[in-house]
Amino acid sequence: MANAIDKLTELGGHRYSALPDEQKRALAVAAALEVICAKASGADATKLSVEFGSLSAYADQIQDALKLK
């Protein structure tokens, strides 16, 4: 399974800002899942149900961070 970083590099010449909203969301969710995966495998792993409950919020934060200022 490809990780979020692989998917971002597969964008090639396409700019994130030019992607359709559903593709932007898919990338943000993939990145958020990578964060959850890393957190769950760490020494201070938390309950996955709590992390998955935060998935949408994580994706929102990632999308906000990727918006051009």
Give the number of residues written for the chain: 69
Flag whether the pTM goes above 0.85: no
With H, G, I as helix, E, B as strand and everything else as coil, classify residue 62. helix
| Contact between residue 45 and residue 39 where contact means Cβ atoms under 8 Å apart | yes
| pLDDT for residue 1 | 43
pLDDT tens, position by position, 6-58:
565 565 566 777 888 898 898 899 889 988 888 877 666 667 888 889 999 99
